[in-house]
């Protein structure tokens, strides 16, 4: 099914354009990296705050409300640029296991970040909240997940496609 | 000894050969490099947005700098270290690559902008409304760092 999809994608005007405009892919990749700065940076600053390592005078809810909105926008732009990068080389990313691992890690990282926000909201509402240790453990897990996303992303360029894939 | 002799000597070292021949050293250094530069850009973005009056308007710039610039410095050290490992993969080739040279020049510009900022804008840092000089400095900083990222990515296309 993926073979059919990539064969179809190869012939679309979008892919033809991306493959022929020499500046397009580097530009899209640069935008992808700048958005990683917003997403990974935002997540890092939130988690460093939770771990008591950064901007500790700032109340935790403030840190979330400051960094989560740009992080969300960043994730959307990463998805769009990501789709364009796949379109530019239809036979590459989607045939590599590490790409799908990366997608799973992105979902896990977003769930962890969303979970952290819910804990803070619960704490604010006076509901029973997790222990300080639980907050910190989830912060470490969250950082680990986002770091893993970056490693998986880079590794797409270094592995081969699975048996039966076009390249 | 010419520069080319120095570069050739570096390329002949066991460390350089190891990076060039290993399956995992370059990808690992690259991934760590991405993490480092995103933290550099992210932390600088915080201060630059403040300088441009676009965010944290209630907080003095000095306050944000004190909190976030340590991240910038630490991350930059990581970027320089991992960047050196990447450089070792092909010292001669990188040193002659115009994009790599341009990237180093941009980093030098970033340093100049930083010094200029601390000399010219420093007295006003306790203020909560940024001066024109501060806004220019913030804009220049953003432009430079976006340029560094773009050049860095472009290098990968010229190898």
Range B72-94 burial, b when 16+ CB lie within 10 A, else e: beebbebbeebbebbbbbbbeeb
Quick check: B39 contacting A, CB < 8 Å? yes
Q: Where are the domains positioned within chain A?
A: 2-158
For the full predicted model, state whether its pTM sits above 0.90.
yes
Is B69 an 8 Å CB contact of chain A? no
* Predicted pLDDT of residue B124: 59
pLDDT score of B125 = 54
Contacts of the segment A144-151: beta carbons below 8 A, 24+ positions apart: A145/A105, A145/A108, A145/A109, A145/A112, A146/A39, A146/A40, A146/A43, A146/A44, A146/A109, A147/B35, A148/A105, A148/A109, A149/A102, A149/A105, A149/A106, A149/A109, A150/A36, A150/A40, A150/B31, A150/B34, A150/B35, A150/B38, A151/B28, A151/B31
Interface with chain B: mutation pick from A18, A24, A34, highest number of B CBs within 10 Å:
A34
Question: Once rounded to an integer, what is the mean pLDDT over residues B42-64?
Answer: 90
- One DSSP character per residue, A63-98 reads HHHHHHHHHHHHHHHHHHHHHHHHHHSTTSGGG-HH
Chain A and chain B share a number of CB contacts under 8 A equal to: 74
ipTM: 0.92
Task: Residue B127: name the closest of B58, B30, B76, B47 by CA.
Answer: B58
B37 contact residues in A (CB cutoff 8 A)? 33, 37
Say yes or no for a CB contact (<8 Å) between A26 and B154: yes
CB A142 within 8 A of CB A112: yes
CB B155 within 8 A of CB B102: no
- Per residue of chain A (167 residues), what is the pLDDT tens digit? 888 888 888 888 888 888 888 889 999 999 999 999 999 999 999 999 999 999 999 999 999 999 999 999 999 999 999 999 999 998 889 999 999 999 999 999 999 999 999 988 887 777 777 788 988 999 999 999 999 999 999 999 999 988 888 87
Spatial separation of the C-alpha atoms in residues B159 and B157, rounded to whole Å = 6
Quick one: tokens of A108?
Answer: 């896990």
Q: What is the full DSSP assignment across A7-68?
A: HHHHTSHHHHHHHH-TTHHHHHHHHHHHHHHHHHHHHHHHHHHHTT-S-TTS-HHHHHHHHH
CA dist B10 and B13 (Å) reads 5
Q: Judge whether residue B85 has pLDDT over 90.
A: yes
Domain spans, chain B: 3-155
Window 129-158 of B: residues touching A by CB (8 A cutoff) are: 146, 149-150, 153-154, 157
Q: Distance from B22 to chain A by nearest Cα, in Å?
A: 12
């Amino acid at each position: 099914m993926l073979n059919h999809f990539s064969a179809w994608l190869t012939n679309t005007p979008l892919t033809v354009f991306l493959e022929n405009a020499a500046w397009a892919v580097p530009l899209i990749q640069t935008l992808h990296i700048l958005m990683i700065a917003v997403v990974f940076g935002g997540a890092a600053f939130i988690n460093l705050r939770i771990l008591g390592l950064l901007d500790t005078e700032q109340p935790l809810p403030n840190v979330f409300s400051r960094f989560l909105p740009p992080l969300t926008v960043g994730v959307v732009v990463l998805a769009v640029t990501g789709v364009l990068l796949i379109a530019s080389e239809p036979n590459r990313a989607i045939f590599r296991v590490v790409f799908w691992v990366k997608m799973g890690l992105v979902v896990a990282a977003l769930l962890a970040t969303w979970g952290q926000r819910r804990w803070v909201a619960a704490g604010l509402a006076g509901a029973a909240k997790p222990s300080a240790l639980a907050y910190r453990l989830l912060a470490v897990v969250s950082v680990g997940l986002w770091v893993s996303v970056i490693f998986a992303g880079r590794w797409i360029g270094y592995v081969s496609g699975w048996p039966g894939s076009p390249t | 000894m010419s520069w080319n002799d120095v570069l050739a000597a570096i390329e002949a070292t066991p460390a350089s050969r190891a990076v060039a021949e290993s399956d995992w050293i370059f990808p690992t250094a690259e991934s760590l490099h991405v993490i480092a530069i995103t933290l550099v850009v992210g932390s600088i973005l915080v201060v630059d947005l403040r300088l441009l009056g676009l965010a944290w308007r209630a907080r003095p710039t000095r306050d944000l700098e004190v909190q976030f610039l340590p991240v910038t410095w630490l991350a930059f050290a990581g970027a320089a270290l991992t960047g050196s490992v990447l450089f070792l993969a092909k010292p001669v080739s990188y040193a002659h690559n115009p994009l790599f040279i341009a990237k180093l020049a941009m980093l030098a510009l970033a340093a100049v902008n930083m010094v200029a900022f601390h000399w010219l804008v420093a007295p006003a840092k306790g203020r909560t409304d940024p001066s024109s000089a501060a806004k220019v400095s913030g804009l220049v900083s953003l432009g430079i760092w976006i340029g560094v990222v773009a050049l860095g990515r472009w290098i990968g296309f010229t190898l």
